[in-house]
Amino acid sequence: MMPWRDDAVFLLRSLSLRIFVAHFVVAQVVFARFAADKRMKILITGASGQIGTDLIRTLHRRGHTLVATDVREPEQLDDGVQWQELDVTERSHVSEVIAAAQPDAVFHLAAILSARGEANPQRTYEINQAGTYYVLESCREHGAGQVIFTSSIAAYGPGFGPGLPDPTPEEVALHPTTMYGVTKVGGELLCEYYHQRYGLDVRGVRFPGLISAELPGGGTSDYALFMYTEGIAKGYYEAFCRADTRIPLMYMPDGVRALIELCNAPRDQLSRCIYNLAAFSPDASEIADAVTRAVGDVTIEFAPDPVRQAILDSWPRTVDDHLARKEWGWKPTYDLESMTADLVPKIRELLAARS
């Protein structure tokens, strides 16, 4: 055989081997993802809230068996999703429901948000703090495989001295300024305690302000969603914040995906229980500009409310989420522009249906 033919045969064999290895690696990745997303029985508290609505829809599409719980039934619930009325402040009932369901995982979403929480801090404590304890303790008692906890950037606060670093990592002193934030810090500590003391597989995220195709739900970050809903419905909105207000935000599809990806992550890859999440951090005027470009004839003005502005100023401007990216592959899909393009038609559809 001629030397050039030997070289050609060698190259072909090398190329074939590389193609085989590439296909093998892809197959392994696909298999690992399929195996990680194995069918589970999942119980969700706070199912009627902002996150629960989209999370249930996504988990149901993936074939999981779901038990949705809350104090009121969701307006729309997919066929095949079991509904159970549950007030997480009723300890014995929490225990009964979790004992009966025997879930592989519990997504604990039940909470009163920051702005609404300041109107009734006592009830906020009962739901957010005592409710979290009752859920964790019932999961320990009845052998739930995993608990997913939703914390918030409201766990942060200005503290004493120069304020929060920018971007803000997980490991800084937490000095929240709202009962919502106080209870989220308490919830995080309970999660760490139950993991260390009892080996309960507890995982959680500190969410940025979440924006979804739903009506605002009482959070201080709702000024962003109001720009879309009021801008589309009325052509005008007076925001309760300054134009230069900047906090971390996230589109709900990314938030739901993050919860599911964290649920599926191998425990031995996780170095902690609670992780920061980041997506984008526009200031309020940039959101207003995005709404105006997408919707058209909209006027958005700014009239800061001192109480809510103080809360916003106590939160990070940006957060450091490198641990989530490194340890379980978190990466956001949406930025402000792509979220706006996806959100505006959904808000139009929502408002049309409600009118």
Which residue did the predictor score with more confidence, 27 or 83?
83
Q: What percent of the chain has pLDDT over 70?
A: 88
Residue 151 within a domain: yes
Residue 30 within a domain: no
Question: Which among 261, 278, 146 is positioned nearest to 209, based on CA atoms?
Answer: 278
Q: What is the pLDDT of residues 101-141, one digit of tens each?
A: 999 999 999 999 988 999 999 999 999 999 999 999 999 99
Tell how strand 202-207 and strand 147-152 pair up. parallel
Residue 188 within a domain: yes
Cα atoms found within 13 Å of the Cα of residue 177, Cβ hemisphere only:
16
pTM of the model: 0.87
Question: Which among 90, 87, 79, 76 is positioned nearest to 46, based on CA atoms?
Answer: 87
- CA separation for the pair 126, 33 (Å, rounded): 38
Residue 237 within a domain: yes
Which range marks the domain in which residue 277 is found? 37-354
Residue 7 within a domain: no
Number of structural domains in the chain? 1
Residue 322 within a domain: yes
First-last CA distance in the chain: 80
Which CATH number is 50's domain given? Answer: 3.40.50.720
Q: Is the pLDDT of residue 13 over 80?
A: no
- CA separation for the pair 86, 18 (Å, rounded): 55
Residue 299 within a domain: yes
Q: Catalytic residue, from 156, 180, 194, 275: name it.
A: 180
Residue 29 within a domain: no
| Secondary structure, 3-state, 98-164 | HHHHCCCEEEECCCCCHHHHHHCHHHHHHHHHHHHHHHHHHHHHHCCCCEEEEEEHHHCCCCCCCCC
Tell how strand 105-108 and strand 82-85 pair up. unpaired
Integer-rounded Cα Rg, in Å, for the chain is 23
Q: Is the pLDDT of residue 176 over 50?
A: yes
* Cα torsion angle, 311, 116, 216, 320, sign: positive
Q: Give the pLDDT mean for 318-345.
A: 98
Known catalytic residue at 194: no
Q: Is the pLDDT of residue 53 over 60?
A: yes
Q: What is the pLDDT of residues 230-289, one digit of tens each?
A: 999 999 999 999 999 999 999 999 999 999 999 999 999 999 999 999 999 999 999 999
